[in-house]
Amino acid sequence: MGDSVKEKIVMSTLKLISEKGYKSTTTRNIAEEAGVNEVTIFRCFGSKKDIVLYALKELELLKPVDERILDNCTGNLKEDLLMLAHEYHKNFTEEKAKIMIGLRSPEIFEEVKEYLIRIPKGFKEVLIKYFEKMYEKGLLNTDDFELLAFAFISLNFGFVLMNASYGNKLIGFSDREFVKKSIEIFVKAIEKSD
């Protein structure tokens, strides 16, 4: 079975499942979206569930967030965190399909949890490393790195999700505006005042 066909099927599956959920996405839907025959899906993957498992097992191989991003940090908290937040949002957009599976497909979540958790975990580790570095430079007023990392992720995750669910019916400002201002708040809280 051709690799390009396999890839098309995987992409279509992730797209549809993240939109409609696992159960509501039929193999006919996937076939149509991928522009292949439904039978081809079963010949390639065996079953519907195996498409998802195949897609998520890729997470095992590749680091969702590259630690080299820390090399771009300047030591200016506001600038750095803004950059990291944009990285988070970019990452979220790229992996949205996969992340949404976690929320929208309770039917298979337990089975794919171990793969999905790599996404937030990877980001958390990068953040902790960043805060450690800044603490050593004497820029932070706290050494509770895990809490800081987790607060930062929760803030962004919560926002992105509410934004995705309710958009401007609930939120009176743009994505960029929120990120910028919430980081200003965040920095105000953690920077060492001297």
Partner DNA sequence: TATGTATGCAAGCAATTACTTGCATACATA
Partner DNA sequence: TATGTATGCAAGTAATTGCTTGCATACATA
User: Would residue 30 be called left, alpha or beta, if left means φ above 0 and alpha means ψ between -120 and 50 degrees?
Assistant: alpha
> Is residue 28 close enough to count as binding DNA by CB under 7 A?
yes
- Tell me which of DNA, a second copy, none is bound by residue 44, counting a contact when its beta carbon lies within the kind-specific cut-off of 5 to 8 angstroms: DNA
- Tell me which of a second copy, DNA, none is bound by residue 91, counting a contact when its beta carbon lies within the kind-specific cut-off of 5 to 8 angstroms: none
CA torsion angle for 117, 178, 104, 123 (degrees, to 10)? -10
User: Under rule CB under 8 A, which residues in 33-72 are in contact with a second copy?
Assistant: none
Distance CA 37, CA 58 (A): 24
> Is residue 166 close enough to count as binding a second copy by CB under 8 A?
yes
Q: What's the Rg (C-alpha) of the chain?
A: 20
37, 72, 93, 154: residue in contact with DNA (rule CB under 7 A): 37
> Is residue 158 close enough to count as binding a second copy by CB under 8 A?
yes
15, 48, 98, 118: residue in contact with DNA (rule CB under 7 A): 48
2, 24, 37, 111: residue in contact with a second copy (rule CB under 8 A): 24
Let me know: does 145 contact 135? Beta carbons within 8 Å. yes
Gap between the terminal Cα atoms of the chain: 64
Give 42 or 157: the residue with its C-beta nearer to DNA.
42
Q: Is the dihedral of CA 101, 106, 112, 115 positive or negative?
A: positive
- Tell me which of a second copy, DNA, none is bound by residue 68, counting a contact when its beta carbon lies within the kind-specific cut-off of 5 to 8 angstroms: none
Distance CA 185, CA 180 (A): 9
Residues 6+ apart with CB under 8 A from 120: 153, 157
Interface residues toward a second copy, by CB under 8 A: 19-21, 23-24, 102-107, 109, 113, 117, 120-121, 124, 141-142, 144, 146-148, 150-151, 153-159, 161-162, 165-166, 169-173, 178, 181-182, 185-186, 188-190
Footprint of DNA (CB under 7 A): 1-2, 4-5, 23-28, 35-40, 42-44, 46-49
